[in-house]
Amino acid sequence: MSTKPNYDPQSIEAARQQAWEQRGDFAAPRPSDGQERVYVKPSSPFTSGNLHMGHVRDYSLGDAYARFRRGRGDAVLFGFGFDAFGLPAELAAIERQEPPAEWVAECGERMLGQMRRLGLSFDYDRVFYSSDEGQYRWSQWLFVTLLERDLIYRADATVDWCDTCQTTLASIQVEDGRCWRCHNEVRLIRRPTWFLRITPYLEENDRNTDQLAAGGKWDDLSLATQRYILGRADGVEIDLGAGDRSLTAFTPYRKFAGLASFVLLSPRHPDVDAWIGEDSVREELERMRSGGWDRSARDARSVPVVDTGASIAGPDGSELPVVVSPIVDARFGPTAALGIPAIDEADRDIAERLERVESPERGEEDGPAPSPADGARDAIRYRANDFSISRQRSWGTPIPVVLCEKCGPVPVPEADLPVVLPRDIKPTGEGNPLAERPDFVDVDCPKCGGAAKRETDTLDCHFDALWLWVPAAVPPEDRDEQMFTHPDLREWLPSERLVAGNDSGGFVFDQRVVTKALRDIGPFDFMTDGEPFAGCLFHEMVIADGRKMSKHLGNVVNPDELVSHHGADTVRLAVLYAAGPAKTLNWNDGAVRFASRFLRGLWTYTNDRLAQIEDLEHDPEAAADTEHMRDRLRKWCENGLARITEDVEQLQMHKAIRNITRLFERIQDFEKRVVQRRGQLGRADAEAQIAALVLLARTLVPFAPHVAEELLVTAGIEDSAPSLEVWPEVAEIPVSAEAPTAS
Ligand SMILES: [Zn+2]
Ligand SMILES: [Zn+2]
């Protein structure tokens, strides 16, 4: 063995990546009997053009875990596809005045190049784009299938509308009353809209969340998002009034229901119109619906409130005014709720705005005496609700429906799928160019054969995302013929671990709903609990200088620049080490300096020791004298390995890396102590030390795979995936003072 030159990440990384690619090391294997199947699902990126540091964090976490599981001998599928439809691609294409299809293809290629350069061990043959015909054909299949089961419906409904983007938005795309893309205020309008019905599965999602928590493979952050989106409130409900003047009202205040002084109705309550008598009130309600409301601000002092003028008999027989306000939605979903100003701060604020309601004095110290209502029964409300899945934009999956004047909306028969999206459409940012294409719009009705029009709304990319975790598990060559019923799904699903940013909670929630629907419909009957992810790790975002990265602030960290300066291993190690996944990563150069110093140090140290060992003779007396020191080194290695293994199992990569650096310090410490005692290492000491360094390199493979594998190859390990990708089960450090058998 010869002395290696200085650590040169660029050449090492190029060589390792070439070897992986040539050997096809990361192709998902056909699992053998008894082998554990592990599908690690990374997030599906938008084709935005470039990877950002959040992606680097996301994929470094997932990659480390995938490599760890491969090293343990498990069959690993690590694959993903691009969420390529929707506004981000469309807006970028408008800006560049090119068809979105071209923009998406360019972005995808560039991003895949960045991923390869980072050494991410995806099965790249399985990459897909949600905007490919062979892919969205299945989005359309899913639409028709859910439509047949009444889990999709069309309703003339109040929806969030963005004037700037000229489109309806799903509630998940409205943040603090603003559009998720352009950040302009949204308002409500009424128009025919397609909805995904999620309410039948809310209770099961609720129950299962506790089970997932008990299973220990969902981290706190991801569980918290599921509970937040569900928005469960526990309380009681009471039947009020009689006949067609009746309502069931909810309150979380079991003990104080008898103190109610008004009833709040959601503007989305199915019976709301029955309570609007006068035209002036109706107009006021319409104004409220079209004027927009701030969904998340729960400020009861400014939220719209419409007094219907009607009343209903309360639990104690008194007349309770019926009032409409979207604050109900923000708290309990589209329901009716008791207003109890005596006990509830928000209700008190509303009472002060109502002429017909007497508001209690503020500042009472003790609060009112409990006053439960007769006939109250336990009840639960969920804030989560059905959401719109259609948009008036052209870059999306065409909704496979024909609108016929005679037959109404008619689904396109499965044999006629896909309904192809014209690829040459150039959106302008206003309206929907699809609606202006006669070649797309004018069709015969599949039912009566008469002249009809295609639905020109397209599906929100949130709909495509409902099943974007599925295709990677199906071999690409089979996807045209078979998707949801492919036998391989039984091998790989549910995914063992989803690794995604903590803004993915909404996607995950709805993916959990649709899995249950497809279980009940049939194709996913093998996932009996209807859960697509056995485990889930959410991570926080990456910021810089304590602020969100943005071009405007000039604090965007470019991963390409970091990689070309320091190498992929250093960047990966730095991003994993700098913070635990549950913490926001405030990026700074310190992490890169740390990672670079560590890898360079390890590289030089290990290469020097490997070069020196050949010159050392075995000396039985010296070996016996330091045997206890080698035994201590073995124990350090055993301890270190146990800790690192536990950390990686829990995806706490920052802890694992800290323990790897500590183990390296121990190995250096061992040498110092031996040198102190004997003046130099004996052959037995050096062999023990090399064994420890090899162990260390093996634990480093998931994090800094290029340099770690190169060190292993230099140490004489065969350059093949089965030899290099091995997670050590025990620390095999030679301790005995006997002459070594191998030279
Ligand atoms: Zn917008
Ligand atoms: Zn017809």
- Closest ligand to 402 CA? 2
Least confident of 172-176, 256-260, 696-700: 172-176
Structure tokens at 179: 């559009």
Long-range Cβ contacts of 671-676 (<8 Å, 24+ apart): 673/629, 674/626, 674/629
Q: How far is CA 248 from CA 111, 203, 712, 730, in A?
A: 53, 19, 69, 63
**Cα 460 to middle of ligand 1, angstroms:** 14
- Decide: 144 and 459 in contact? Cβ < 8 Å: no
Cis peptide before 494 (omega within 30 of 0): yes
- Closest ligand to 186 CA? 1
Give pLDDT, residue 1: 46
Region at 679 (left for phi over 0; alpha for psi -120 to 50; beta for the rest): left
Give pLDDT, residue 365: 63
Give pLDDT, residue 433: 83
Distance CA 443, CA 510 (A): 33
Give pLDDT, residue 160: 79
For 143-172, what is the mean pLDDT? 85
**Cα 188 to middle of ligand 1, angstroms:** 13
Residue 9 has pLDDT above 80, yes or no: yes
| Res. 740 pLDDT band, cuts 50 70 90 | low
pLDDT tens digits, 537-563:
999 999 998 888 877 788 889 999 999
**Cα 432 to middle of ligand 1, angstroms:** 15
Residue 416 has pLDDT above 70, yes or no: yes
- Decide: 714 and 607 in contact? Cβ < 8 Å: yes
- Closest ligand to 443 CA? 2
Residue 505 has pLDDT above 90, yes or no: yes
pLDDT tens digits, 64-101:
999 999 999 999 999 999 999 987 788 788 888 888 99
- Closest ligand to 185 CA? 1
Q: Which residue has the higher pLDDT, 385 or 633?
A: 633
DSSP reduced 3-state for 403: strand
Residue 294 has pLDDT above 50, yes or no: no
Residue 431 has pLDDT above 80, yes or no: no
Residue 743 has pLDDT above 50, yes or no: no
Tokens 């350069």 belong to residue: 117
Mean pLDDT of the chain: 92
- Decide: 39 and 493 in contact? Cβ < 8 Å: yes
Give pLDDT, residue 560: 95
Predicted TM-score (pTM) of the model is 0.92
Which residues contact residue 68 at a Cβ distance below 8 angstroms, ignoring those fewer than 6 apart?
648, 649, 702, 727
Give pLDDT, residue 295: 46
Which residues contact residue 743 at a Cβ distance below 8 angstroms, ignoring those fewer than 6 apart?
none
Residue 738 has pLDDT above 90, yes or no: no
For 53-72, what is the mean pLDDT? 97
Q: Which residue has the higher pLDDT, 297 or 327?
A: 327
- Closest ligand to 167 CA? 1
For 581-594, what is the mean pLDDT? 94
High-pLDDT (> 90) share of the chain, %: 74
Give pLDDT, residue 78: 98
- Ion ligand 1: residue ranges with CB closer than 5 A: 162, 164-165, 179, 181-182
For 439-462, what is the mean pLDDT? 95
Catalogue the E-assigned strands of 644-716.
none
Give pLDDT, residue 286: 78
Residue 371 has pLDDT above 80, yes or no: yes
Give pLDDT, residue 291: 55
- Closest ligand to 178 CA? 1
- Decide: 253 and 348 in contact? Cβ < 8 Å: no
Residue 223 has pLDDT above 70, yes or no: yes
| Res. 261 pLDDT band, cuts 50 70 90 | very high
Q: How far is CA 453 from CA 95, 393, 397, 409, 441, in A?
A: 30, 17, 17, 10, 5
Give pLDDT, residue 104: 94
| Res. 287 pLDDT band, cuts 50 70 90 | confident
Give pLDDT, residue 172: 66
For 143-171, what is the mean pLDDT? 85
For the beta carbon of residue 380, count every other beta carbon within 10 angstroms: 15
**Cα 405 to middle of ligand 2, angstroms:** 7
| Res. 429 pLDDT band, cuts 50 70 90 | low
**Which three-class secondary structure string do you get for 169-219?**
ECHHHEECCEECCCCCECEEEEEEEEEECCHHHHHHHHHHHHHHHHHCCEC
